Amino acid sequence: MAYITIDSDNKLKVPNKATIGYIEGDGIGPDITKAMINTVNASIEVAYSGERSIEWEKIMAGEEAFEKTGEHLPKDSLKQIEKCVVSIKGPLTTPIGQGFRSLNVTLRQQFDLYANVRPVKYFPGVPSPVVHPENMNMVVFRENTEDLYSGIEWKYDSEGAKKVREFLSQQFGISLTDDTGIGIKPISKFKSQRLVRKAIEFAIANRRRSVTLMHKGNIMKYTEGAFKDWGYEIAKNEFGQQTVTEDEYLQNPDAMGDRIVIKDRIADNMFQQALTRTAEYDVIAAPNLNGDYISDALAAQVGGIGIAPGANIGDVYAIFEAVHGTAPKYAGMDVANPTSLILSATMLLRHIGWTEAADILDNAVTACYKDQKVTQDLARILNIRALKCSEFGDEIIKRMKKE
């Protein structure tokens, strides 16, 4: 097998016959993974006529892994992910009482996949609850390793909560009732700035117009407020020639040129602005919880998370993923919508530099929706015949053509 490697500058070295790891996932995972692999292989063949290809390496995780090994995430699977460098996965069930808060969180923390990247755009033909869904074209960069994902919590009646309440009372004069659970929300300068750096780098590389720092800094001044301040700091210190602040832009719009506007919005305002002034926003950088909320809210405007892709990216490793759940009642029925995973695969192709194949796959998905070739989740809204998961994949392949 020809594995992707990393050079001394953390740049990917991708062979023409590249090995990519994949986790089928639970529930509908095997169905949508099969459709994803078929469409990706077809797009690569159309783009490169046999000069490039992917060798898919299966990695066990989730319910299948537990049945065979007694572990939801075996050590051998972690070694495979490390060896592959770039992987893609279907949805995974969060096990109860098995030592993992979430398999997804565990993978992100294990491989320091600190940027959860979620592009959201409209596909013509997809039903939407808003008047102008075509204005939606945003990319959310969500911090993936701290904030609430650090998981520092104590149940209200635990010994830990009691000790923290006593500490707060004795050291700071803060009085909390005995029925108060405690949670700590850590947000660091280093992790905030590397996330914003990645968002700005993306905006520059993709000729985006702005990066908005989403926060609740008016209330949480030293966590989310600090996230905002550190974001502006990294923009000024590292990207001063390529960015301007919103205040600078408003004072002299004509002097902006092709520089990127750095602005910030308070979280609750960001939600309503995303609805009422959609076209004014482009790239959003946010702490973990804010990024989780806003990415799903944006997806709801253009068809829901069933067609929303996602990626977990660090400085070395990357795992692309379907952002929806496992939908176990549809497992094995060949009816699920594979779009989220297929579009995540287009992100994977761009990540490894195979942009021609990514464009072909992306355009074919767009053509499918424009022709209203859809699976049951959207067909019942449009009152048209539903395609099976595999049939939807076939329709995508039919629409592939070299640009």
Of 22, 114, 122, 149, which one is the catalytic site residue?
Answer: 149
Q: Which helix (H) or strand (E) holds 184?
A: strand 182-184
- Annotated ligand binding at 108? The verdict is yes
- Give yes or no for a contact between 13 and 6, defined as CB atoms under 8 angstroms apart: yes
82: Cα within 13 Å, side-chain hemisphere: 9
- Annotated ligand binding at 330? The verdict is yes
Beta-carbon contacts of residue 28 (< 8 Å; ≥ 6 apart): 90, 91, 326, 327, 328, 330, 331, 336, 389
- Annotated ligand binding at 249? The verdict is no
Of 76, 268, 315, 371, which one is the catalytic site residue?
Answer: 268
Angle at which helices 189-205 and 224-239 cross, to 10°: 50
- Give yes or no for a contact between 138 and 281, defined as CB atoms under 8 angstroms apart: yes
- Annotated ligand binding at 325? The verdict is yes
Of 26, 147, 264, 292, which one is the catalytic site residue?
Answer: 292
Is residue 401 annotated as part of the catalytic site, yes or no? no
- Annotated ligand binding at 329? The verdict is yes
- Annotated ligand binding at 259? The verdict is no
Alpha-carbon gap, residue 282 to 136, rounded angstroms: 9
- Give yes or no for a contact between 379 and 335, defined as CB atoms under 8 angstroms apart: no
Tokens at residue 227, please? 């996230």
Tokens at residue 45, please? 């063949």
- Annotated ligand binding at 206? The verdict is no
Alpha-carbon gap, residue 15 to 142, rounded angstroms: 30
Is residue 147 annotated as part of the catalytic site, yes or no? no
- Annotated ligand binding at 292? The verdict is yes
* Residue 24: exposure state from Cβ atoms within 10 A (0-12, 13-18, ≥19): buried
- Annotated ligand binding at 112? The verdict is no
Of 216, 281, 317, 334, which one is the catalytic site residue?
Answer: 216
- Annotated ligand binding at 150? The verdict is no
Is residue 149 annotated as part of the catalytic site, yes or no? yes
Tokens at residue 378, please? 């959207």
Is residue 232 annotated as part of the catalytic site, yes or no? no
- Annotated ligand binding at 102? The verdict is yes
Bind-site residues for Mg(2+):
292
Bind-site residues for D-threo-isocitrate:
102, 104, 108, 118, 142
Residues with a catalytic annotation lie at 149, 216, 268, 292
Bind-site residues:
93, 102, 104, 108, 118, 142, 292, 324-330, 337, 380
Bind-site residues for NADP(+):
93, 324-330, 337, 380
